[in-house]
Chains A and B, each alone.
Chain A
């Protein structure tokens, strides 16, 4: 078999067993969980060290092709789609936990370590890595860093950037840079710039994550409301009462109906919204806080509240939320999970509008939301094989994100821009703002070789053809 010069060089650097180049093998890497757009790379490599990542970047540089880093491929915005072909650097074989230091409340992990693996490793220590993105079983810490992943617990416990103390990254010229984990006084927060940059500024290979002590106890409350407005009012009043719950998950009538159709939880058919609220902290204050939240929910118009103290009870309360995607999967051959965010007080308005947009485009849209931070996840049900439905889903998705912008929000809270949303960046930001981001990108990657055509609109996400040098 004859290989292209690029593949030959990659095989020489990494060993043939760490390079894929057969079309049938490459097809697996032509998209992530955003499946509306596909493109196979010229090669996929599986480096086992930072040094090997640097070697790959240098090979790609000498052949003038793009480099796209990839973790588990669970991204929902096409962030690791190799938009211009080139080489996909899959980091899943960099999966060692290099150090856990409880005294320093820190762990050093390779980018391919999964959230669940780290959680298992930390299980008996009383500490954890706080971000809890939905695909914990497969998502990698490197992927969390790329998208600045959040999850339901973001309001109280923060998102990925709040939990990264340092990192080792490979830059577009193949050099290796180590930032942190001991912060220096003075100077821009480069770690904060790299986190969430979706692999366009650097390829992060090692991460020092902050470890957070586990709460002593948990309580959960589930409340059923007649309307979204009442549920959001409850969320606002809980926070106004000085309580920051670990999670406040909102489910609208659409998703409740879907859950009922699939699993028959026994929710009243006319329920307008369900809130699942979880609090955590020292046990001493929890019962009182739980009572207070129940009282607030009732005052806000909750028709029914259920409380949970034991892990089993909590799990049963959470079940309706955890099964939401499964319910949707049973009802529809394909679905798209959108990600938008608005100031919390705009939640009722945006959720109402989203349902209308669904009607207008004849697409069934159901909603879950991390209500505490105004993060909506509309789920659009469709059939991927029906081209017209695909077009309608794309149009509806765009329109609901534009509604988020109109409400003073943003087009993504935690999934990233990827290849899906660069065009919306023009709506969200002024030219000067995008120009500032472009300058940052050029400062890190003058050639535009790293993950081209992502994050910024066309003008800012340079082509990897070497013309920008």
Chain B
């Protein structure tokens, strides 16, 4: 994986120990006309366009303390440089978790998680990190620190600036501290897997899942060679177009009942005789595997358009691989062409038009080595809210110092 110095035009690096120092670094950068590139675990450095403005790499790695964890309140407050894995360990001691799938949890930090707002398998049942942020502290592009939200589970006081920061990719302010809502770890978990012979069946099965009596935690559709080989799931049959994985979480009786219930529904709906059950003892690595599968682009589409779009994508790049969080209309595509020009042409000329025709949008997640794309090529045409985003950006980072050139503004 590429490092910060490969991907960012850094002339300096800093690893502040507290918020005051973060503010000081930003103010100094402003004086020197340098950009500021916030860096967490470095797992998302290749997300977005390649910036050009020379600047300071501001590492949050030393801001890694848990400030408060009150299990009975279901809240935890931690500094932004804490890794997702260390948070998980601490929460697990109390039987709790943040039910958000984080790729590369050993390195990914809470600040990065908020900034990038990834969608994982559990989005279907648990939402994304935006649904768990209760409060935060951040330093804006003028070097001024502010708080947003609080540490209570419900709060209607003022504007939800936490949500404004979620997904903002470090362009509005540098997050230094986060308060999250946490939940009990479910007693158990399991998955049911079936082979999908063709795309009509895929749609029938997904439509069935909208009316199922069970309560899936995740609905994943996998296709293509790169997404094969997980021993718990087993290889896809050559006669299949895809594999459908449905994850369950809950108490033992609930999960047992749901596994049986869905198997029965599948048998009636599509004549599926013997779906594979991934039992509790084997399921944990599969959740991790599903969270970490590589992808070059992410398409967001209406769930009802997902299967038709996947069929089209399979036609466009038969040697690529697809992972869809199918219940949410999120399609992650791993492309077969690795030559930069071919990759770019495929995204521009085939994939994005296909996504748009299905009522969706496409963003490039990572570029193959040597590829260069403009911001518009990476993010696609701006949505209707772009003028508002710019107006907010102008007021939080008036000098355009924070992560310039990577996002749309």
Chain A residues proximal to chain B, CB less than 8 Å: 101-105, 126, 147-148, 150, 154-155, 158-159, 161-162, 171, 177-179, 181-193, 195-197, 201, 213, 216, 236, 239-244, 281-285, 288-289, 339, 341-345, 370, 372-375, 408-417, 421, 425, 428-430, 432-437, 439-444, 455-456
Contacts and interface: CB of A to CB of B under 8 A. Distances in A.
B234 interface: no
Which A-B residue pairs are the 5 nearest by beta carbons?
A: A192-B163, A284-B257, A185-B363, A443-B391, A373-B153
Contact of A101 (B163, B214, B304): B304
Given A242-B186, A345-B73, A425 B158 contact: yes
Contact of A240 (B95, B148, B187, B211): B95
A78 to B, nearest CB: 14
A406 to B, nearest CB: 13
Contacts of B379: 185-186
A430 B144 CA distance: 12
Given A182-B329, A188-B392, A345-B70, A285 B158 contact: no
Given A162-B131, A433-B148, A455 B158 contact: yes
A285 B166 contact: no
A36 B365 CA distance: 53
A225 B396 CA distance: 50
Interface string B134-148: 000000100011111
B298 A440 contact: no
Given A147-B156, A240-B71, A432-B145, A216 B213 contact: yes
Interface in B105-144: 117, 127, 130-131, 140, 144
A187 B158 contact: no
B384 A436 contact: no
Given A182-B329, A188-B164, A430-B147, A374 B152 contact: yes
Contacts of A158: 127, 131
B72 A413 contact: no
A410 B155 contact: yes
**Most chain-B Cβ atoms within 10 A of its Cβ — which of A242, A342, A436, A441?**
A436
B385 A190 contact: yes
Contacts of A437: 158-159, 161
Contacts of A196: 156, 159-160
B360 A182 contact: yes
A177 B161 contact: no
B317 interface: no
A196 B149 CA distance: 12
Interface in B209-258: 210-211, 213-215, 250-251, 253-254, 256-258
Nearest to B185: A242
A189 B163 contact: yes
Given A189-B166, A436-B161, A442 B187 contact: no
B323 interface: no
9 contacts: A103-B207, A155-B153, A161-B160, A184-B380, A281-B215, A285-B253, A343-B75, A413-B154, A455-B158
A417 B140 contact: no
A306 to B, nearest CB: 23
Contact of B184 (A179, A244, A408): A244
Contact of B407 (A161, A186, A281, A370): A186
A239 B150 CA distance: 21
Nearest to A192: B163
Contact of B152 (A159, A289, A408): A408
Given A182-B361, A185-B361, A288-B251, A192 B160 contact: yes
Contacts of A345: 70, 72-73
B183 interface: yes
Contacts of A182: 300-302, 329, 359-361
A281 B250 contact: yes
Given A178-B384, A432-B146, A436-B140, A242 B95 contact: yes
Given A410-B155, A410-B157, A436-B396, 9 more contacts: A182-B302, A184-B380, A193-B159, A288-B253, A409-B150, A417-B158, A432-B147, A436-B140, A440-B392
B254 A104 contact: no
Interface stretch (B167-175, B192-200, B272-280, B340-348): B167-175
A184 B383 contact: yes
A134 to B, nearest CB: 14
B303 A341 contact: no
A187 B213 contact: no
A437 B145 CA distance: 13
A189 B146 contact: no
Nearest to A233: B72
Interface in B351-371: 359-361, 363, 365
A183 B70 CA distance: 33
**Most chain-B Cβ atoms within 10 A of its Cβ — which of A191, A196, A372?**
A196
B165 interface: yes
Contacts of A103: 207, 210, 303-304
B395 A443 contact: yes
Contacts of B185: 242
B111 to A, nearest CB: 15
B388 A177 contact: yes
Given A186-B407, A192-B166, A443-B391, A201 B184 contact: no
Given A190-B385, A190-B389, A243-B184, A428 B157 contact: yes
A401 to B, nearest CB: 10
A442 B394 CA distance: 11
B34 interface: no
B161 A289 contact: no
Interface in B49-78: 70-75
Contacts of A102: 210-211
B251 A289 contact: yes
**Most chain-A Cβ atoms within 10 A of its Cβ — which of B145, B162, B304, B383?**
B383
Contact of B70 (A284, A343, A416): A343
B104 interface: no
A344 B407 contact: no
A158 B125 CA distance: 12
Given A289-B251, A443-B388, A185 B298 contact: yes
Contacts of B27: none
Contact of A344 (B72, B166, B257, B302): B72
A176 to B, nearest CB: 8
A125 to B, nearest CB: 9
A309 to B, nearest CB: 16
Given A216-B213, A240-B72, A184 B257 contact: no
A4 to B, nearest CB: 33
A341 B154 contact: yes
Interface in B373-409: 379-380, 383-385, 388-389, 391-392, 394-396, 407-408
A193 B394 CA distance: 17
